[in-house]
Amino acid sequence: MDDILTRDSLNAQAYSRLCRDLKAGRFAPGEKLKLRDLAAEMGISPTPVREALARLISEQALEQVGHHSVRVPVMSERRFAEVRELRLMLEGEAAARAALHAGSEDVKKLEALHERMAALREAGDTAGELLESERFHMGIYALADMPVLQRMVESLWLQCGPLMKALQTHAMGQPRKQHPHHMVLRGLRKRDGEVARRGIHDEIERTTAPILAYLRERGEDAPAQPAPAARRAARQAA
């Protein structure tokens, strides 16, 4: 029994870590993930990492190339447009629902996350900034108290997180007087769901142009199709 619990715990640890890294933009589109390197970094055996990778393949967050390679998918403009529309709908609704439940302590925690994110941006730590941004958003959506909706949002972030690399090389146009997070926080403080929704929409919209420029530079016009081996891995992991 202890062996089973340990194995399940390690599987969950590996899956959680990979999800966090994908959502925070650690991996770039098309980047190959090396099983043994990931296992060494996490300090665990390759088996739970392999199972976590298979699960992410089944969720279309990763794809298998050939028999032994796993990579981050390269998204097409058409796929990005669909993901963007779903993010606007689902994340906007999650933020609006969160405004109904957020307490003062919840808002303080989110403010602290945003402040850390801003400090990391000033320090030029893009990876750290993206990680804190991911924590900020997931913290908001958890407050909605809608676990099915939250899971759907997390799935979208797994797919679009790698595109955040575009923000390192492509400008977002004219700088805003305030980061959209401030509007979201204002909506949460006032329990105004529509203000919180607008803040989320504003943030998604302001990242659209640099991401599209990044995709067009890569010249991708169709989403990659999973190899037969990936489909087998997906069925086995389901």
CATH of the domain at 188: 1.20.120.530
| CATH assignment at residue 66 | 1.10.10.10
The number of domains in the chain is: 2
Sign of CA dihedral 157, 161, 163, 166: positive
Given this model, what pLDDT does residue 157 score? 92
Residues 142-183 have pLDDT tens digits of 999 999 999 999 999 999 888 887 877 776 655 567 899 999
Range of the domain at 58: 2-74+224-237
Whether the pLDDT of residue 235 is over 50: the answer is no
- The answer to whether residues 199 and 112 belong to one domain is yes
Q: Tell me, yes or no, whether 82 and 70 share the same domain.
A: no
- Are 160 and 206 in the same domain? yes
Domain identity same for 93 and 129:
yes
Which DSSP state fits 71?
E
CA distances from 68 to 34, 35, 142, 190 (A): 9, 9, 36, 52
Shared domain check, 122 and 68: no
Q: Are residues 11 and 60 in the same domain?
A: yes
